[in-house]
Structure 1
Amino acid sequence: MNALTRNIGIVMLFFAVTIAVYATAVRGNFFVEWDDYKLIVENPILQEVSVRNIRTAFTAYDPELYIPLTFMSYHADRILGGGWNPSVTHGINLILHTLNALLVTWILSVLTGNRKASVIAGLLFAVHPLHTEAVMWASARKDVLSIFFFLLSWSSYLQFRRDDARPLRWYATAVFLLFLALLSKVVVVTLPIVLLMTDYLQRRRIDFSNIREKSPFFLLSFVFGVIALFGQRSGSSLYYEKFLIGCKAIFLYLGKLVVPMKFSILYPFTESISISNPGILFSVLGVILISILVFLFRNHRSLPFAWMFFTVTVLPTMSNFTKSDYYFHDVYVGSDRYAYIASIGVFFLLAGLISKVQGRLNAALYSVSALILAVFGYLSYQQSFLWKDTGVLFVNVIRHYPNSHLAHNNVGAILEKQGKYDLAVGQYRESLAIRPNERAYYNLAQLYVKAGRTEEARGMYLLTLEQNPGHTDAKVNLAALLIRSGSYDEAIVYLQKALEEEPKHEEAMFNLARAYELSGSRENALGWYRSLLQLTLEDQEIREKINALLR
């Protein structure tokens, strides 16, 4: 068998395996109500391809991340699908993941010198359940796309080192591909360090000349790192807390790579973030112990490389452990997709281990590999079905983390949309029993309004404002109830505060004008109706209100 035929066979094998495992992603006509609608389907800059929308994509955040090339890829999805077609979006995610697995295989074959071992490791990378989130979640496009260019850049750098005839071409290609990766998601800023680690693994001297060679890579990473900092919302955690949770996350990922069980879209951490916490203490000691062992066995360069690769590539995700606003200042240990790049370090070690035993245990090795591949593939196949339904996705969180108030709140919101109000109230109450939070209070208030339970709704809006005094919609909706009950002066106070926060909030402007009108303040009512008409030029109802007041 010649090299071309063999390579085509490997590519076909990878696509056949990933399609078999994740076929539900391509067939499924679904987006999940967890970022997919806000980021993709309802995102104003993705509704049409225009100069304005493209400019916005390259000059704005999403709301925190700078991902213009990812937005361009969603435009491509929309064009290919003739509109928003989930099968197209998931299909492209699947193609990118398969290409990533092939690139991982090629890189491992270069680093280990063993093609068969690298193919086995690459196939396991392709079907590992830890990567299901990155494949099945449409909003995870930024992860698989950025890592695709990350791996292409790394591959080009390896070619630059191997090809003496055209080194500059490969070098320039590697720099450009890093630029594309950073435009997709800034999490790949660690590539320059990975290139230095690659030189270390291949026994090149790490000196000033070597570091200077990486200067364009470092410069790009620095620039995009600064851009990312401007978009990052402030969290409540301190750096030492991020370090402690980071150690916990490292063992979460390592554990799930070795024993792929209990996957969840959320990994909430509800305990104290302190070195006195046994779980955190053992994680910190574990990181220190592994680092010491790696140092002691530093002559075996594959061990330091794998450990440094894993920890360094996880590092950029540590700013995401503490969430604010929507997440109620919660702490989450990690996310499956954050380990997508880092897992390559583990698969590198696996390829090296396979290389060591390959000659002596061929039959047993291939049998065990096939068995593990089948088990991982089945687990990923089962895991993929969670992503066909948002409710199932968060019920799964509750199954593993029953104290996740966010999961209970989200399940309640889904039940409410289905008209199952009593069950929804139960989930909101469960969320509040775990931890009082603005979102559950607000959702309960909205549900009570639908049910005509006005007094209970008022109470929930007030509790929402106790949790978050800056909740504009709670003020506007509470004011609407107050207007209905004739408490015009009180309603006016809430609406004025709401408009201080959002001066162009149309519902607040209309309700304020209405409150003034009903309270007999004709001039104030006219002023606000006219201000609102400037925003809604063709609104016939507003014109009629103004004409009625002028009679």
Structure 2
Amino acid sequence: MIDRIDRDGSISRGTYLFVVVSLVLLNLLIFVQTASHGFIILDDNDYVRNNPHVLSGLTLRNVSWAFTSFYASNWHPLTWLSHMADGQLAGPSAGWPHLHNLLLHTLSTVLLFRLLERSTGALFRSAAVAALFAVHPMHVESVAWVAERKDVLSAFFLVLTLLAYRGYAARPVLHRYLATLCCFALGLMAKPMLVTLPFLMMLFDCWPLRRIRPFAGKPGQPKELPEVSLARALWEKVPFIILSAASSALTLAAQREAAMMSLEKLPVSVRLGNAVVSYLRYLEKTFWPVKLTIFYPLSLSGMEPWRYAAAGMVLALVTVAVVVFARRAPYLPFGWFWFVGTLVPVIGLVQVGGQAMADRYSYTPHIGLFVMVVWLAGDLRGKLRLSRKNGGLLFGCAVAVLAALSFMRAAQFRDAGTLFSEAVRVDNRNYLAYTMLGISRQEAGNCQAALAAFREAAQLNPDYLEARFGAATALEQMGRKGEAMAELRSLLAAHPEYTKARLSLASDLAGSGLVDEAIAQLDAALERDPRSAVAHHNLAVAFEMKGDSGQAIYHYGKAIVLDPGYVECYGNLGDLQLARGNRAAAVESYTKALKLDPGYLPARQSLQTILSH
């Protein structure tokens, strides 16, 4: 297979190895710098930094949580397991998680080259597509951001699934089919965006595999594959479609409560308009990847109707063109429909979050565009009689430019301050960037600058509650507790459902000696969210301050039932049991806390004191 002649020319085993090594070095050149980078707050806190399930590693309890939790509005157990493996190996360090992302991206790059080369016989074109996948600046977000492990992990299984499917198409036996199905299931457990993969398999059947009878026997097929009817090809995809439907249902359940926007807040017309405009913006940034940012704010009011109409017209014209040229250039509809189809789950028809689009969403859809560009360029080179050497030189220059842009983009992910300062520079109306910049400044102890950033964010988007909450926490850190409490009261008057602010206000009230008012706020929080372990824990602390140990023990127990991994709750319950003279119960609570987190110092010190007496 490696030594055959392809239409790009004669190749050798050494050439093949050279391509693979070059692809690996390209990735290392751009991304090895991330090994010294830190976390960037946004999502990294939920996914790693403040996630005890991840930091405590691959325990039976944590594995169970990964498969049963809708934490962070997602169901992707394999992604959680990969983060837990990092926690097991490296603890809270960011270095290894970054290298893990780099490893997965590099493997996906090499496997993508292998997939295309085996399916088309065009070694150099396949290498070119893989190189573009490796170095494109829009892919930096997926690789250099720890929380986007789900991107690189799911892409790895996407390519692996198609490789397994290609093997099944060459020799359709049961164990190869089951291997393909298994790879797909793992990919869905990494990120549900892979629900469109059965559609991609049908595209592969048409081109480059050409195994469906209407397309079989045409030029471009590297070796004879068993032909199948269209009905048989569709029937083969039924188990894959069932898995996609199940994954979609789980994802909707996970995101419905916390992250999904209602039709009242974002009408269908705005969703459709944003979708067609975003397709064009993805195309624009693919060919001109400048002014990239981690967040592109969505306009809830939409834009002028003519912009939607113009964008829709362009998309329709491109679609018609690729269909018209399908017979002469079958890679055009393959690449275009890959791009359009794989973006459907994240294009905003079901809107999750406040972004209009995201660089990371282009990670696997770009494969289709790169196939279109590379194969078209290769055909045009022949028609223009451009030598292979000159064509290769032009392509090498393009890759070098993209690699340089990616290197600089990856450097911006060094820390939150650098990343979000750049985001604000690119778009000074980016309210999320200002909020994250405020949090990073707050963590650095620069509360005055943090407050200014939070105020700017709140002014840009008064409905973004995190900005106003951030301002309250900055005021509290500056010792302006009265102003902080006034900010929280104002926030809750307008948005009584914002439990996070209510919990913070209750904590401030308890700290100021207003325990009864704190209890009232916590009761209100539990009315809106009865399953809040934090609210039960804080209510227990408040009752303990009031001297009602019975109620305190009850609410500590409720918090532990709701969150069995709540280390601090076990520690505080142990302190209360010890104060009541119940040494055995205190020892049990401290032991459970240390079992969950062996580094939890308060429980360790208290347990040592008990045992020494």
The answer to whether TM tops 0.5 is yes
Partner of 1:175: 181
Aligned pairs for 1:302-321 (under 5 A) are: 302-319=331-348
Deviation at 1:491, TM superposition (A): 4.8
Which position in structure 2 is the counterpart of 1:380? 406
Residue 50 of structure 2: aligned partner: 42
One-letter identity of the residue aligned with 1:506: H
Matching residue of 1:327: none
Aligned residue number for residue 422 of structure 1: 448
Return the match for 2:375 from 330, 334, 352: 352
Question: Partner residue of 2:154?
Answer: 146
**Equivalent-residue separation in structure 2 for 1:76 and 1:489 (angstroms):** 44
Aligned length, in residue pairs: 527
Equivalent of 2:196 in 190, 196, 208? 190
Q: 2:536 aligns with which of 505, 509, 524?
A: 505
Aligned: 1:448 with 2:475: yes
1:290 aligns with 318
Partner of 1:538: 574
Instruction: Mark the CA change 1:311 to 1:425 in structure 2 (over 3 Å): closer, same or farther.
Output: same
Deviation at 1:216, TM superposition (A): 2.2
- Matched residue type, 2:487: M
In structure 2, how many angstroms separate the alpha carbons of the residues matched to 1:321 and 1:268?
Answer: 16
Alignment of 1:130 with 2:117, yes or no, is no
The corresponding residue for 2:499 is 472
Tell me, yes or no, if the aligned pair for 1:29 and 1:85 is still in contact at 8 Å: no
Q: 1:304 to 1:429 in 2, by over 3 A?
A: same
State the AA in 2 paired with 1:289.
L
Letter in 1 for 2:369: V
Q: CA deviation at 1:512?
A: 5.3
| 1:357-403, Cα deviation, whole Å (9 max, x unpaired) | 45532122111111111101100000001111111211222112211
**Residue-by-residue CA offset, 1:394-418 (whole Å, 9 max, x unaligned):** 1222112211222112211221222
The correspondence for 2:234, drawn from 211, 215, 218, is: 211
2:134 counterpart SS class: helix
CA distance in structure 1 between the aligned counterparts of 2:155 and 2:95, rounded to whole angstroms: 21
**Among 493, 503, 521, which residue is 2:520 paired with?**
493
Equivalent residues of 1:421, 1:447 under 8 A apart: yes
Q: More deviation in 295-304 or 57-66?
A: 295-304
Partner of 1:71: 80
| Equivalent-residue separation in structure 2 for 1:310 and 1:472 (angstroms) | 40
- Which residue in the other structure is 2:109 paired with? 101
Instruction: Pick one of 391, 394, 399 that aligns with 1:365.
Output: 391
Using the alignment, how far apart are the partners of 1:177 and 1:483 within structure 2?
52
What's the TM-score once normalised by structure 1's chain length?
Answer: 0.88
Contact 2:278–2:356 at 8 Å: present in 1 too?
A: yes
2:435, 2:199 → 1: CA distance? 41
Gaps spanning 5+ residues in structure 2: where?
4-11, 214-228, 558-568, 583-613
Shift of 1:476: 4.0
Matches within 5 A, 1:274-289: 276-289=304-317
The alpha-carbon deviation at position 542 of structure 1 amounts to 8.9
Contact 1:267 1:333 (8 Å CA) reproduced = yes
Task: For 2:361, give the aligned amino acid.
Answer: Y
Q: Is the 8 A contact 2:438 2:453 kept in 1?
A: yes
Separation in 2 of the partners of 1:140 and 1:479?
34
Indicate conservation of the 8 Å contact 1:512/1:528, yes or no. Answer: yes
How far the C-alpha of 1:115 sits from its partner, in A, is 1.1
Q: Which runs of 5+ in 1 are unaligned?
A: 325-329, 547-551
Following the alignment from structure 1 to structure 2, what is the Cα–Cα distance between the partners of residues 271 and 445? 26
Q: Distance in 1 between matches of 2:506 and 2:175?
A: 65
Q: Distance in 2 between matches of 1:400 and 1:147?
A: 28
* Alpha-carbon distance in 2 for matches of 1:142, 1:478: 35
CA distance in 2, matches of 1:545, 1:409: 46
* Residue-by-residue CA offset, 1:51-100 (whole Å, 9 max, x unaligned): 1211121122233222111222223323443x244222211211211221
CA drift at 1:264: 0.7
SS in structure 2 at match of 1:19: helix
SS in 2 for 1:538: helix
* Cα drift, residue 478 of structure 1: 3.1
Contact 1:245 1:321 in 2 (8 A): no
Equivalent residue in structure 2 for 1:336, among 355, 359, 367 = 359
Give the residue type in structure 1 aligned to 2:282.
Y
8 Å contact kept, 2:261–2:351:
yes
Please give the per-residue CA displacement for 1:437-471, whole angstroms capped at 9, x wherever unaligned. Answer: 32222222222223332332222011221342123
Q: Which stretch of structure 1 is more off in the superposition, 315-324 or 143-152?
A: 315-324
Write the deviation string for residues 461-495 of structure 1: whole angstroms up to 9, x where unpaired: 11221342123343344345556777676555334
**Alpha-carbon distance in 2 for matches of 1:428, 1:260:** 29
Alignment-derived partner of residue 436 in structure 2 = 410
SS in 2 for 1:303: helix
User: How far off its partner does 1:170 sit?
Assistant: 3.0
- Residues 143-187 of structure 1: CA deviation (Å, up to 9, x unaligned): 11111111111112222223x4x6444333222211111121111
Range that drifts further, 95-104 or 106-115:
106-115
Deviations 1:114-154 (A, max 9, x none): 21122122212211111111111111111111111111111
Quick one: which amino acid aligns to residue 20 of structure 1?
L
Distance 1:4 1:440, change over 3 A: same
> Quick check: 1:448–1:454 contact (8 Å CA) kept in 2?
yes
Supply the AA of the counterpart residue of 1:144: V
Q: Write the distance in 1 (CA, Å) between the matches of 2:522 and 2:578.
A: 18
1:439 and 2:462 are equivalent in the alignment = no
Q: 1:221 aligns with which of 244, 248, 259?
A: 244
- Which of 224, 234, 242 aligns to 2:271? It is 242
Letter in 2 for 1:334: M
Equivalent in the alignment of 1:17: 26
Q: 8 Å contact 1:90–1:137 — kept in the other structure?
A: yes
Give the direction of change, closer, same or farther, for the CA distance of 1:243–1:106 in structure 2 (3 Å limit).
farther
Instruction: Name the structure 2 match of 1:401.
Output: 427
